[in-house]
Chains A and B, each alone.
Chain A
Amino acid sequence: MSKNNIRLMQGNEACASGALAAGVSFFGGYPITPSTEIAELLARELPKNGGHFIQMEDEIASIAAVIGASVAGAKSMTATSGPGFSLMQENLGYAYMTEVPCVVVNVQRGGPSTGLPTKVSQSDTMQAKWGTHGDYFPIVLSASSVQECFDMSVRAFNLSEKYHSPVILLLDEVLGHMREKIRIPEKDEVQLIERCKPTVPPEWFQPFELTPTHISPMAGYGNGYRFHYTGLTHDPFGFPTGKPSEIREKLDKLMLKITQNVDDICTHKEEFLEDSHIVVIAYGITARVAQQAVRIARHRRFKVGLFQPETIWPFPEKALKRALEHADLAIVAELNQGQLIHEVSRIARSKVKVQGVFRYDGEIMTPTEIVNKIREAN
């Protein structure tokens, strides 16, 4: 490695490197543009690190293998793009229900359907939240730079191990293929979280035990603990239940383990918010564009600031409320026909006007588009 661990790499490479730094030892995946480099890099690197790479026959099998590998004790991940992410949804629901830690990277491209395999988009924002059926509370991160691809890849593993839940990391075509300078941290700088394991004797063990934190220790196969996993709604022992009180308890557990910890899960970045009347809200690659737009606008003496949610689900609601306290206008910029804007509107209520800058023609937004919106609003 070069001096100071500085490297020039692609977002996809950084994401795979971050996963390796986080201790991933299983990747099950399927080639799909624009995410394939993640699989290719891990196909080469995982065996060297004692890990295992399997190219599965499709995305349904990929996520299923990832769940299996995770239950057997490995930190597991897969990477895909729109059509593959759609195929994974049923299994993702299974992972939420059975509380299996795993990381799914979705390098977004235009949709619906085959859409735009080689073009940028942020149109899976809502699918990441509502993709599978039923009530559940996903953790979804959105990276905006190659450095963040690395850092968030590590964080995605940590959150999934901590909350025993799938974590979705959203990248996009531009970020995945863009090359930037990044700093790879030393091994001892990377803080890792491991899933909590049972300490009770096997005969006392309940795989979905109700705990104050709503997180139950996970035994994993081959450790002497007997447990039952099923996608059916289950009781603390993991066996299917039809009892209303137990059904409610299970669904509350899935909700509360996330909603009670939003302060730990949610992160965001902000710039020039102290005196801003206009707040530009952008995430993913568009946050980089918005950052430039805000700097240009400030140079022209517009009182404008930037709010970038790094965790988009759960949305950093408290932080945004603070950011909008003195604002009259929120501008949401995203590469879709308007998805996260609904969440922003909900949080802003009627106190702050919310307007959107949307682009969905397969091209990345330009700072001018956002600056024009800021000028219009003034």
Chain B
Amino acid sequence: MRNLETSTEKAPKPKKEKEPVVEWLLAAGHRACSGCGEALGAKLVMDAAGPNTYVATATGCLEVFSTPYPESAWRMPWIHSLFENSAAVASGIEASLIAQGRDKDVNIIAQGGDGGTADIGIGCLSGMLERGHNILYVCYDNEAYMNTGVQRSGLTPFDARTSTSPSGKLSWGNKTNKKDLPAIAAAHHIPYVATATVGYPNDLMAKVKKALSIRGPKYIQVHVPCPLGWIHPSDMTIEVAKLAVLTGLIPIYEMENGVVTKVRKIGKNRRPAEEYLKVQGRFRHLFAKGADAEEELEKIRQIAEANIKRFGLV
């Protein structure tokens, strides 16, 4: 991996046991594609949460690749709900544990992909946040429905090409920008909202730990590249994730009680938006020969600029 910045962040420390393969709570040997950002993200989240955690997972890649019959990669109580309702199932788990007096020292995590969270699952998510359950919701945002073959979702970025937002003579790809889901979550007056990325694993794990130390509903949105859907080499996952942050397109921040309390500054490491776009096939049409995409590129630069201004990233 190229050195992208002067950050002092280090990779998670290797642990001391003899068999490092089985020490992760999301065990190795599952069927994710090579370079899968979501698999890495889930592994880090689970490791940060620890073994005393109940997990409800919505339908999606994560559920499919982690549980091919008769195996399961989950070394903790885990349930696959439906597509739209992991937050509601987790609400039931939490209420039940409280009723039984078994809610001490356990974490409850509900999770799903961007489609299962921002589109079909937003109703159940909103209900969970509003009712004040002591649950951490983690959204793994790979910016499209990857499990069904890369269709756009509410979190697909502007101008990205997917199979239901194709680029061509009549279209530059996805016509809308990402839904601001962290802001929607924060609007429920919940104590903790954060964005994170697999590009910065320590930051992600610290945020999960912090979230779990707070009582009440919490929301973390993790940006996870998908080599298959974004069309980039699978050894570039971390680099692409970092570029998303360094271009200002994916701001990394924390909100406590509705107020932004911490942002990851990009400062002088800031990169032009094109650098992030060019490495991904889903934006290739913007750089194709003869494509007059300057106007579109400018719009994307404006999105980055707006993020930088809003969160004071520079």
Q: Could you tell me which A residues sit within 8 Å of B by CB distance? A: 30-33, 36, 39-40, 43-44, 47-48, 53, 55, 57-59, 83, 113-114
Q: Are B151 and A57 in touch, CB under 8 angstroms?
A: no
Residues 140-180 of chain B: 1 if any A CB is under 8 Å from the residue's CB, otherwise 0?
00000101110110100000000111101011000000000
Q: Are B149 and A36 in touch, CB under 8 angstroms?
A: yes
Interface size class of B (residues with CB under 8 A): 20 to 34
Known: A43-B164, A43-B166. A83 touches B82 (CB 8 A): yes
Chain A: which residue is nearest B149 at the CB level? A36
- In the complex, chain B residues whose CB is within 8 Å of the CB of A36: 148-149, 151, 163
Contact of B148 among A33, A44, A58 (CB under 8 A): A33
Q: Are B120 and A114 in touch, CB under 8 angstroms?
A: no
- 12 A-B residue pairings within 8 Å (CB atoms): A33-B148, A36-B148, A36-B151, A36-B163, A39-B164, A40-B163, A44-B166, A47-B170, A55-B151, A55-B152, A55-B164, A58-B119
Chain A: which residue is nearest B115 at the CB level? A31
Q: Are B151 and A39 in touch, CB under 8 angstroms?
A: yes
Q: Are B154 and A57 in touch, CB under 8 angstroms?
A: yes
Contact of A31 among B148, B166, B170 (CB under 8 A): B148
Q: Are B83 and A83 in touch, CB under 8 angstroms?
A: yes
Contact of B82 among A30, A55, A113 (CB under 8 A): A113
Taking CB atoms and an 8 Å cut-off, the chain B residues in 90-124 that contact chain A are: 115, 119-120, 122
C-alpha spacing A341/B196, complex, angstroms: 54
Q: Are B119 and A57 in touch, CB under 8 angstroms?
A: yes
Q: Are B164 and A40 in touch, CB under 8 angstroms?
A: yes
C-alpha spacing A83/B165, complex, angstroms: 23
C-alpha spacing A31/B164, complex, angstroms: 9
Interface hub of A39, A53, A57 (most chain B Cβ within 10 A): A57
C-alpha spacing A114/B57, complex, angstroms: 13
Q: Are B59 and A114 in touch, CB under 8 angstroms?
A: yes
- In the complex, chain A residues whose CB is within 8 Å of the CB of B171: 47
C-alpha spacing A225/B307, complex, angstroms: 48
Known: A40-B163, A43-B166. A57 touches B122 (CB 8 A): yes
Residues 73-91 of chain B: 1 if any A CB is under 8 Å from the residue's CB, otherwise 0?
0000000101110000000
Known: A36-B149, A55-B151. A43 touches B83 (CB 8 A): no
The 6 closest A-B pairs by CB, nearest first: A58-B120, A57-B119, A31-B151, A31-B148, A43-B164, A40-B163
Chain B: which residue is nearest A30 at the CB level? B120
C-alpha spacing A316/B47, complex, angstroms: 60
- In the complex, chain A residues whose CB is within 8 Å of the CB of B170: 47-48
C-alpha spacing A57/B115, complex, angstroms: 8
Cβ distance B260 to chain A, nearest Cβ, rounded Å: 27
- In the complex, chain B residues whose CB is within 8 Å of the CB of A33: 147-149
Known: A40-B151, A58-B120. A31 touches B82 (CB 8 A): no
C-alpha spacing A44/B165, complex, angstroms: 8
Interface hub of A31, A43, A44, A83 (most chain B Cβ within 10 A): A31
Q: Are A43 and B165 in touch, CB under 8 angstroms?
A: yes
C-alpha spacing A58/B115, complex, angstroms: 9
Q: Are A31 and B149 in touch, CB under 8 angstroms?
A: yes
Interface hub of B122, B164, B171 (most chain A Cβ within 10 A): B164
- In the complex, chain B residues whose CB is within 8 Å of the CB of A57: 119-120, 122, 154
- In the complex, chain B residues whose CB is within 8 Å of the CB of A47: 170-171
C-alpha spacing A83/B115, complex, angstroms: 15
- In the complex, chain A residues whose CB is within 8 Å of the CB of B147: 33
C-alpha spacing A104/B142, complex, angstroms: 29
C-alpha spacing A83/B80, complex, angstroms: 15
